[in-house]
Structure 1
Amino acid sequence: MLCARTGSSGIEGNPTVFYRLMPGSTAQTNKLHTFYLQQRPDNGDTWADIKVNHPLDFETIKEYNLTVRVENNGAQQLASEATVYIQLEDVNDEIPLFTEREQETVLEGEPIGTKVTQVNAIDKDGTFPNNQVYYYIVDSPRNEGKDFFEINLQSGEIFTKVVFDREKQGAYALEVEARDGAPSARPNSNQQPNSAYVRVA
């Protein structure tokens, strides 16, 4: 339940009122029936609880304006309307995704600190720090390039950590990963690492 409202009939001895959630002309005004209204009595009052009918997504719609109509039970029916404003709060439910895989070449004998390439990932969350992306080299024994390259945490630029000798090894596979800046609302959802293939020429 998002919110509740109560109203008065204005008729002495007949306190009954009826609520309706009015459909609007846009998704923001409940055209898609994202919300529904449930009426309940409580200590002689009649309350209207507004509840969610479909999942809400901050990245799609950030706020809603709902119109609630209340009517009494008199012979001459009276009614009034009120607007309920609902603002969504962004949660970290999007995963950073890399835009493409990289395949680059570095010359043997190049000095330490030579830029090799730059990886890029996009997080579709709507607000900071949920959409702030940080880059890391995967620390795994299976990541053969982890000891030969380093990555800029914020830019995703990859640099050499050693001077390469093509006769020793001619190519390296480097796994990097992107993380966002807040605890995930989907803790069991992990993005796949991205691979950068570097050839020594």
Structure 2
Amino acid sequence: MDNLRILIADDHELIRRGVRNLLAAREGWNVIAEASNGLEAAEKIEQLQPDIAIVDFSMPLLDGSAVASRSVQCSPKTSVIVLTMHDSERIAYQVLQSGAKGFVLKSDADHNLIEAVSAVSRSEHFFTKTATNLLMRGILSKNGTEKASAKTEPSLSAREEQVLCLLAEGTTSKEAAARLGISVRTVESHRIRINRKLGLDSIADLVRYAIRHGYAS
């Protein structure tokens, strides 16, 4: 998508300015609104229906994951990317569960934010390597207290297992397609079949399943 309407939300004006300047380098990417707290962000997302919303996790009134959850309901076409300065497994998992399409640590933003916006504009998910590692550690810790299920699991084809492994590692559909030598559409078709076979509803469920069953570590 060449022309993007973007909203930026952070309670620090300096951060908003930095993100705005970073995005300004891309032709057709237009910052249409800014917000200084989570409630204002949620209201502007509902009102303006931007393509992308880049929101800080730690904002007054509503945090970034709450903004993402509300956006799913009131502006489903808006892809939310959550920024945070906190290196936290809990936050990474909370953001994933909220329906956000991207999660970027502020320490990685200079290198990854442009890539994140590009990915979610193509309806892909984008989690930085750091965020993915946090998420997996959190899920492993949580699963360590659970008993293994005795239920027989549906079988996946070899190709579906390859796609499952790559997506669980945080690889985008485009990257997975390149590594496997297939089209992005084929990767998405495999993902849909995997979710249907395994009864999964979200990328969070997919990652959890992959770790529990040894497809990811």
Query: What TM-score, normalized by structure 1, do the two folds share?
Result: 0.21
The structure with the greater share of residues assigned to strand is 1
Larger radius of gyration: 1
The structure with the greater share of residues assigned to helix is 2
